[in-house]
Amino acid sequence: MRERSAAERIRDFQEVPLGYTPEQAIEEAKRCIQCKNPKCVGGCPVEIDITGFLKFVAEGDFASAAEKIKETNALPAICGRVCPQEDQCEKECILGVKGEPVAIGSLERFVADWERESSPRPSTRYARSGHPSPSKMERGMNFDDSRKKGVRIAVVGSGPAGLTCAGDLARLGYQVTIFESLHVTGGVLTYGIPEFRLPKAIVNLEVEYVKSLGVEIKTDMLVGNVYTIEELLKEYKAVFIGSGAGLPKFMNIPGENLDGVYSANEYLFRVNMMKAWQFPEYLTPVKIGKRVAVVGGGNVAMDSARVSLRLGAEEVTILYRRTHDEMPARKEEIERAVEEGIVFKILTLPIKYHANNEGWVSEAECIQMELGEPDSSGRRRPVEIPNSNFKIPIDTVIVAIGNSPNPLVPHRTPNLKTEKWGGVIVTAAGLTSIPGVYAGGDIVRGAATVISAMGDGKVAAKAIHSFLGPTK
């Protein structure tokens, strides 16, 4: 896929990849050999009919391709941008055995963008607002007005888990209300992932699409405070909890509470919510200085580093205790970070932060690591090399070593069983320890992925549908 050059893109927040042209999309889709038993579909947690939509793309029928994707996925422009397809559908593509798998994710993105940007079937596909409206099929899917009209379901959180669960239930004919604690919708898609990877306008449009399926969203509603789950259960027949994992982890080392040390969550939240990418039109009080160190090797670390560069930092360094091979971030995002000039100090563990006279962080004291035997995750364990301490000068530290499930709802819900680390315990169908209460996404898994959250939302929607049964 075409991309903006690193030199051009590092000083703004515009998207990096430019997407396929229609000709490129057709050519790429034609590579699909239309397997009789397509394994790629099994690799997709939201069960997109991948060969079906690729066939339409290969024929140049992009409108039908969009409809095909939306049969099971309400957020295709988002998934096409941030899902780790290389570990899911594309990993299963038979062409990948001897060469390159079909670029399913890029094609999904192309189709969603094409549908948004063109208006091929204005009468049916687009509402007057310009938002794609649900197709007749989507509105009609299993819809049984007499049975479900008035059956109300509550969803907590408007991230990918909540949006997917709500959208699927609305398609089934239920009356769904999402309760979102923030003033904005989309969860991490809006407040976490930066504009240059996932433009907010695209998230907003896909949220509008879910609303157009009949979902109501109430913002500024902190469940646990405004209503408890028990109170919701009095008004609603079932509840889905998709409240995510937004509780930052820290290393608990000396100096982590100095001025200039952020959690990645706070940092990215400030940048995204205060529209830092529109500086100087919007003033964003995020002081980062010239030298930024980011601790961690996942997507959140890459995003924090690349945002810092775009906000004017002169030297941005990733500190990671293992090597490139063990980094959990998507490979393409690591490559882009390298191209943009982010410095990677691998096998490096910060152990203490030092302050200047004014109490701001000024140095990171680190220790050199080496790889030992594999640990429980299967990755080789990083081991400290004795007496290898060294210091690097810094103005800002961003700690991006993971997040835990948001604790408020579990704390305020007696009988809701959780793991020791905070994840809500569910059955394979997403049922919690409370009848009628389901959960999925990061509140169950800990910090995971967009598509796994969506898959959980889908599974729970099916389970809620069968829980409510034909006569209720």
Ligand X SMILES: Cc1cc2nc3c(=O)[nH]c(=O)nc-3n(C[C@H](O)[C@H](O)[C@H](O)COP(=O)(O)OP(=O)(O)OC[C@H]3O[C@@H](n4cnc5c(N)ncnc54)[C@H](O)[C@@H]3O)c2cc1C
Q: Point out which residues bind ligand X (CB under 6 A).
A: 82-84, 156-162, 179-182, 187-188, 192-193, 221-224, 242-244, 246, 268, 299-300, 303, 330, 406, 408-409, 441-442, 447-451, 453
Please say whether the beta carbons of 250 and 449 come within 8 A.
no
Tokens 């893109």, located at residue: 9
Q: Whose Cβ is closer to ligand X: residue 167's or residue 246's?
A: 246
Q: Whose Cβ is closer to ligand X: residue 67's or residue 303's?
A: 303
At a CB cut-off of 8 Å and minimum separation 6, what does 310 contact?
10, 11, 12, 13, 196, 277
Please say whether the beta carbons of 261 and 294 come within 8 A.
no
Q: Whose Cβ is closer to ligand X: residue 28's or residue 180's?
A: 180
Q: Whose Cβ is closer to ligand X: residue 43's or residue 244's?
A: 244
- Label residue 66 exposed, middle or buried (CB < 10 Å: 0-12, 13-18, 19+): buried
Tokens 């290898």, located at residue: 388
Rounded CA separation 164/195 (Å)? 22
Please say whether the beta carbons of 208 and 129 come within 8 A.
yes
Q: Whose Cβ is closer to ligand X: residue 244's or residue 350's?
A: 244
Of 33, 168, 15, which Cα lies nearest the Cα of 77? 15
Q: Whose Cβ is closer to ligand X: residue 84's or residue 134's?
A: 84
Q: Whose Cβ is closer to ligand X: residue 347's or residue 439's?
A: 439
Closest distance to ligand X from the beta carbon of 190 (Å):
7
CA neighbours closer than 13 Å in the CB half-sphere of residue 139: 11
Instruction: Please report which helix (H) or strand (E) contains residue 364, including its range.
Output: strand 361-374
Closest distance to ligand X from the beta carbon of 263 (Å):
10
Closest distance to ligand X from the beta carbon of 16 (Å):
12
Q: How many CB atoms lie within 10 A of CB 54?
A: 28
Q: What is the DSSP string of 243-281?
A: ----EE-----TTTTSBTEEEHHHHHHHHHHTTGGGTTT
In Å, how far from its chain's centre is CA 177?
A: 21
Q: Whose Cβ is closer to ligand X: residue 84's or residue 173's?
A: 84
Please say whether the beta carbons of 288 and 307 come within 8 A.
no
At a CB cut-off of 8 Å and minimum separation 6, what does 192 contact?
265, 268, 269, 272, 300, 303
Rounded CA separation 32/95 (Å)? 8
What is residue 69's DSSP assignment? H
Closest distance to ligand X from the beta carbon of 244 (Å):
2
Closest distance to ligand X from the beta carbon of 251 (Å):
18
Q: Whose Cβ is closer to ligand X: residue 82's or residue 213's?
A: 82
CA neighbours closer than 13 Å in the CB half-sphere of residue 261: 24
Closest distance to ligand X from the beta carbon of 393 (Å):
26
| Residue 438 token pair | 């389901």
